[in-house]
Amino acid sequence: MTGAPISRRRALGLIGLGTASVAVGATGWATGLGAPSRDTSGRDLAQPRVLASRDGVLDVSLTAAPGVRLAGRDTLAWGYNGTCPGPTLRVRRGDLLRVRLINHIDQPTNLHTHGLHVSPRGNGDNPFVTVAPGGSFGYVYRIPADHPPGTFWYHPHHHGTVADQIFAGLAGALLVDGGPDPDLPVTDDLVLLVTDTTLDGAGRVAAPNMTARMMGREGDLVLVNGQHQPVITATLGDAQRWRVINGCVSRVLALRLEGHRLTQLALDGAFLPAPAERDQVVLAPGNRADLLVRPVRGGRYTLVADPYDRGSIGMMGGGPPASGPVALATLEASGPAATPPSLPVTLPAPSAPQGRVARQRRLTFAMGMGMMGGTGTGTFTIDGRTFDPDRDDQTVPLDTVEEWTVVNTSPMDHPFHLHVWPFQVLATSTGVPPTGLRQDVVLVPARGWVRLRIPFTDYPGRSVYHCHVLDHEDLGMMATINVHQ
């Protein structure tokens, strides 16, 4: 699986990306069509450039700046190091990851290593850092030696502009290797970072109105690695690992692959106890799923995001955009008939948190509606308050295990995300039996609740929990946690 020689597919991906990089700035969007281009349809899925650690260290610079290719066009969208997604950062557990973030956009930004179990302090995964336009900041992340190997991602987390900056293109994959190897029969190991955005005819990213922010904006253009409906080719008998990252600001991805059941290997960077066959895999914004895809017969099969009802915003009428099924990519399988390799029976799932529950807490996510100057506005609160970085909302003694019930009194789902400390879902109001998996984003159903077990057994420091409909987070649906010694 990891450390294997570069596959044919990955090699092609790198070549594809190189070609794209050369073309940046060569032709203007203005010479193209007004509507978002579909001219990358039918093209091979490219892989973002991979920056991998050596001898225990990965030292990289990430420059956030405008000007990237998206959907086969030069645009004024943003990227890291000139691409959207930014480079894939690939480390091993126990490594040191150093990132110099350079800000060449016209607003403050910072960096969040989504899902990594690392220190939130100082120059670690610290959401309170501000990197001013023209400035830079040196992050240092020590990946623990027992970190689950898997699929994570990075994106800005500067309160107030998180949704705008991700919608504009700032995101990249972050992979952790090493540890127990499940011996997967994988021929290709692919990142599928899904984002959505809306571009105008000049290739500028469109700004949402307040109603769209209240619903959680969904872009017109749904992209995989910055490409519109790319093609993933496979030879019969292949087994491909697809690391699907939902990098959309608000859109829930209810994934389905035509003609196939999906074999899920991992959720949020942690292996399941065993491969699970599913008709559909639902990813809230921020969630990741590792899938094993084994085409059984030749043909073209669409990877679809089925419609998903996130609820409505109540008095304002209408729910989020009722986006019909969206085609994300096409699997093109060919070659002489061959039997796909068999799967391992078990996977190295991290053990569930044990220990006495020291404290139970109840958190309430709520939405309020109002009118201001004839325009609808919303308040998005946790426990009746909007975000204040200087206030400690929860103080938790280090080395304890807690049980949190997150209640949602609103008519919309809100994906709950806690930085640094992954949790286990114990129960939800839907009655669907919990998976018991370690994860870092969970959908809290409209007018429902989820119950979580959270081990705070290491990493003291302050961080945040929030709604991962990032427009809601920017509107105040975020709070702080201080884990103290």
In the complex, the residues that contact Cu ion under the rule CB under 5 A are 414, 467, 469, 472
Supply the minimum distance, in Å, between the C-beta of residue 433 and Cu ion: 25
Is 129 or 367 the residue whose CB approaches Cu ion more closely? 367
Residue 57 burial (10 A CB sphere; 0-12, 13-18, 19+): exposed
Q: Please, what is the minimum distance in Å from the beta carbon of residue 285 to Cu ion?
A: 9
The number of beta carbons lying within 10 Å of the beta carbon of residue 58 is 21
Phi-psi region of 314 (alpha: psi -120 to 50; beta: other; left: phi over 0): left
CB closer to Cu ion, 175 vs 443: 443
**Which CB sits closer to Cu ion, 272 or 467?**
467
Which residue lies nearer to Cu ion by CB, 229 or 408?
A: 408
Q: SS3 of 260, please?
A: coil
Q: How many CB atoms lie within 10 A of CB 65?
A: 15
Closer by beta carbon to Cu ion, 212 or else 469: 469
Q: Is the dihedral of CA 105, 71, 473, 155 positive or negative?
A: negative
Please, what is the minimum distance in Å from the beta carbon of residue 310 to Cu ion?
Answer: 9
Q: Please list the helix, strand and coil fractions of the chain in percent, rounded to the nearest 5, in that order.
A: 10, 45, 45
Nearer to Cu ion, 243 or 251 (CB): 251
CB of 109 closer than 8 Å to CB of 159: no
Q: Which is nearer to Cu ion, 158 or 414 (CB)?
A: 414
Q: How far is the CB of 10 from Cu ion (least distance, A)?
A: 36
Rounded least distance, CB 314 to Cu ion, Å: 13
Sign for the CA dihedral angle at 396, 390, 154, 451 comes to positive
Between CA 331 and CA 323 the distance in angstroms is: 22
Q: In angstroms, what is the minimal distance from the CB of 441 to Cu ion?
A: 11
Nearer to Cu ion, 74 or 413 (CB): 413
- DSSP string spanning 67-128? EEEETTEEEEEEEETTBSS-PEEEEETT-EEEEEEEE-SSS-B--EEET-----STTSS-TT
Q: Which is nearer to Cu ion, 402 or 471 (CB)?
A: 471
CB of 368 to Cu ion, least distance (A): 13
Residue 131's nearest CA partner among 104, 151, 150, 170 is 104
The answer for residues whose C-beta is within 8 angstroms of residue 413's C-beta and 6 or more apart is 252, 284, 310, 311, 443, 444, 445, 446
H/E run at residue 264: strand 262-267
Closest approach of Cu ion to the CB of residue 246, in Å: 15
**Distance (Å, rounded) from C-alpha 221 to C-alpha 77?**
13
Bin 440: left if φ > 0, else alpha if -120 < ψ < 50, else beta.
alpha
Query: Please, what is the minimum distance in Å from the beta carbon of residue 313 to Cu ion?
Result: 10
Which residue, 288 or 414, is less far from Cu ion as judged by CB? 414
CA pseudo-torsion sign 434, 440, 445, 449? positive
Closest approach, Cβ 468 to Cu ion, in A, equals: 7
